[in-house]
Amino acid sequence: MTTKTILSRLATGAAAMGLGLTMTAGVAAAENWDMPTPYPEGNFHTQNIIQFAEDVEEATDGELTITVHSNGSLIEHPEIKNAVRGGQVQAGEFLLSLLANENAIFQIDSVPFLATSYEEAGKLWEVSREKTEELLAQQNLKVLYAVAWPPQGIYTTEKLQTIDDLSGTSFRSYNNTTERLAQLAGAVPTQVEVPDLAQAFSTGRVDAMITSPSTGVNVKAWDFLDYYADTRAWLPKNIIVVNQDAFDALSPEVQEAVMEAAGEAEARGWEMSMEETKTQTEVLAENGIEVYEPSEELRDSLLEIGETMSAEWAERAGEEGQKILDAFLAN
């Protein structure tokens, strides 16, 4: 599946309600939505949301304006979903896998080595979108769109040749997935928060971590490690939702404009994510980190770990989860 095809499908999926009309001036009273997001304005997710808000205001001739509150300034990240659900704010953005404790379906995009490219991540979103929307609808939340983060790679102080090179190393963990990944790789999971990474590596508290090239650049990983294995372990998604009651209160024309802008934002966001991956990986290399493809032996071992973790995820997710997994693997 080509990049062009996957972007086209993403745009079509978000616009499935039947879009294509631009709003004309109406008589309804102007609405203003508050939309909290977790990341600073320079982040590509936030930039995409700001463009989405501008597109909505233009398409509706100002009948709906969306005020974007970036960087957790209005609502902190873990609270955004419930704030939208309860009507405290009308719309919001959050990392989908944060809801894993509610239902494992929300975590499928963070199963390591299941979807290891943008094309595969797009397919995974296609087959899991309907169930995701259904589960969020039960909480009075309507999905507008979702955009992937850059893929996750392994940063180390020593270059990896085989999975055995991780055996006994201290591997940074920050959730159940990274803890389990470290265990299956024979490493020792060690919890370290992002602000403490430099000190943890410099003092030998940790030897390896898995995260995106964006995070690597943000923390200036070249100051404390030397290697980045471009494993593309998973591409987690941010999801943008709106309170269903707030959406239903809009006129049909404004609803249509919102969904059209959402479809455009989804396609645009995935393109921005791809560019972010390319740009930030280049920055790592320019600053002295050796960026390399994992060896065939290392790749095979990582895929075996992925198969184990996929099976464990399917057991947690139950019959519906297995259906999604089967549909993804069938393609």
Alpha-carbon gap, residue 239 to 292, rounded angstroms: 30
Q: Nearest Cα to 112, choosing from 163, 165, 167, 43?
A: 163
Q: Specify the pLDDT at position 195.
A: 87
Determine which helix (DSSP H) or strand (DSSP E) holds 256, and give its type and residue range. helix 252-286
Tokens representing 136?
């969020």
Q: Specify the pLDDT at position 193.
A: 87
Length of the chain: 331
Identify the DSSP state of 27: S
| pTM attached to this predicted model | 0.88
Contacts (Cβ under 8 Å, ≥6 apart) of 69: 34, 35, 36, 37, 75
Q: Nearest Cα to 67, choosing from 80, 49, 84?
A: 49
Residue with tokens 């499908």: 9
Tokens representing 287?
């600053």
Contact 90/291 with Cβ under 8 angstroms?
no
Domains of the chain: 3-148+238-267 (3.40.190.170), 153-233+283-330 (3.40.190.170)
Alpha-carbon gap, residue 45 to 32, rounded angstroms: 21
Cα dist from 22 to 132, 159, 258, whole Å: 28, 54, 10
Which residues of the chain fall below pLDDT 70?
1-29
